[in-house]
Amino acid sequence: MLKDDAGLAQSTRNGRLIIFARGVSDFGAFLNMVALSTYVYWLSQSVVFVSVFLACRVIGGIVASLLGISFFRRFAGRGALAGLDAFRALLLVPLLFLAPAHQLSLLPFIAFGIGLCNSLFAIGLNSQLPTWVAASQRVATNAWVTSAAATGAVLGSLLSGLLIANGGFEAVFATNIATYVLAACLILPLRALYPATAAEQKGISSEWRKLRVGLRSSPVLAAMLLISLLDTLGSAAHNVGFPVLSQYMAPDTSNTVMGYLLAVWACGKFAGARLASVILNGRGTRGMERLFMAGVALMSSGFICTFQQTELWLALVFIVWAGLGDGFAEVALISRAQSEPETLRLPLFSLLTLIQMAGFGVGMLIVGPFYVVWAPAQVIVLFHGLPLTALLIMGLWMYFKRRRFPVKALLKE
C-alpha cells in the first residue's frame, strides 16, 4: 500500500511511463496499419488481398481477446508487455531483408501477429494499470493515456505517407521497429505498487462465468458494454465514410480534407480526455457512468452532424464535438472497468477488446453495401443512431429504477 510521498512519486513515474509507452505503441500501430496496407496493395495489386490482410489483423485481435485471460494469468507484469512489443518488432524484421517476391505469402501471418500483439498489449496494460498507479491518480493517468493514444494514432496515420514518399517502405518499417523497441524500453522500468492477488486457476469457462455473475450484479456496466458494441458499428460507418465525405466536399483535395478531419477529431479527443480528468476528480462509479453516457451522446450526435455538412469548416466544428465525446466516453469506460475487483478486471478488458474488434470488423463488412444505395449522411444516422437509441433506453431504465427504489424501501418498512 502507498503510505508515503515516495510511493506517490513512484506512482507518478509509473503513470508517465505508461502514458508515453501507450502513445509510442499506438503511433507504431497506426504507422504499421497504414504502411502495411499500402505495401500489400503495392505488392499484390489486388484489393482482395488487402481485404484478406486486414481481416487477418482483425482476427488476430479477436483471438487475443479470447487468449488474454490465460496469457496474463500466467505471464502477468511488465515483462509480458515488453515481450509483446519486442515480438511486434521481430515480426517486421523479415520485411527489411527478404525479397519482395517472398514477402507476400508472409504478410497475412505478420498481420495476424501484429493484431494479436496489439490487442494483448492493450488488455494487459489496461487491466494491470491499477497495480502500478495509485487510485487517486488513476483517472488522470487514463485521461493522459487516451490523449496520448489519440495523438499517436493520428501522427502515425499522417506521417506514414511522408515516410513512404521520402524514404520508401523500408524507412517506415525501420521506424516502426524502433517505436516498438522504444515502447518496450518504457515498460521495463515499471514497478508494482500493489501486489497482484493470485487468481484461482479454474479455466477460461470459470473466468467467463465469474464475469457474467459480476455483470449481473452491475447492470449499468453491462449496459455500457452493450452500448460500446453498438458504438463500434457507428465507428465502422464513419471510418468507411470519411473518404466518401472528403471526396464529396473537395474532389481535388480529398486526401487533405480527410487529414484535416482526422487531425481535428484527435484534437477534440485530446481535449475531451483532459476535461474528463477534471470532471471525474473525486467522483465515484456513478459519475463515471454518467460521463460515459454524456460522452456517447456527444460523440454519436457529433458524427451525425458532421456528415450532414457540405462545408469543411462546419464539418470541423462538429467533429471537434464528436472528439470531445469520444474522449469523455473512453476515459469514463476504462476508469469504470478498472474500479471492478482485480479478479474481474482481466476478463472484463478481454471482453471489451472482443466487443471492439468483432464489432468493428463486422461493422466494416456491414456498412459497405449501405454506402452503395444511401447517401453518407443517411448511413451515419442509421449506425450512430443505434448507440443513441440504446443510450436513451438505458437512461430511462436508470431513471425509473431509481424512482421506484424509495417506494420499495417504504413498503418493506
| pLDDT for 149 | 84
Q: Say how far apart CA 78 and CA 141 lie, in whole Å.
A: 17
| pLDDT for 410 | 36
| pLDDT for 197 | 55
**Structural domains of the chain, with CATH:** 1-192 (1.20.1250.20), 202-413 (1.20.1250.20)
Which one, of 99, 69, 81, lies nearest residue 24 by Cα? 81
Cell numbers for 372, please give them: 452503395
For each successive 10 residues of the chain (413 residues), what is the average pLDDT? 67 92 86 81 79 85 90 89 94 89 88 92 91 90 89 79 82 91 94 66 75 87 92 89 83 75 86 92 85 95 93 92 94 92 88 88 85 89 94 84 55 41
Which one, of 370, 284, 260, lies nearest residue 335 by Cα? 284
Q: Say how far apart CA 25 and CA 3 lie, in whole Å.
A: 32
Please, are residues 136 and 5 in contact by the beta-carbon 8 Å criterion? Answer: no
| pLDDT for 363 | 86
Q: Say how far apart CA 227 and CA 293 lie, in whole Å.
A: 9
Q: Say how far apart CA 339 and CA 139 lie, in whole Å.
A: 10
Which one, of 179, 191, 189, 190, lies nearest residue 85 by Cα? 179
Burial 235-258, CB ≥16 within 10 A → b, else e: bbbbebbbebbbbbbeeeebeebb
- CA distances for 120 relative to 12, 40, 72, 94, 151, angstroms: 24, 24, 9, 22, 21
Q: Please provide the distance, in angstroms rounded to a whole number, between the alpha carbons at the two ends of the chain.
A: 41
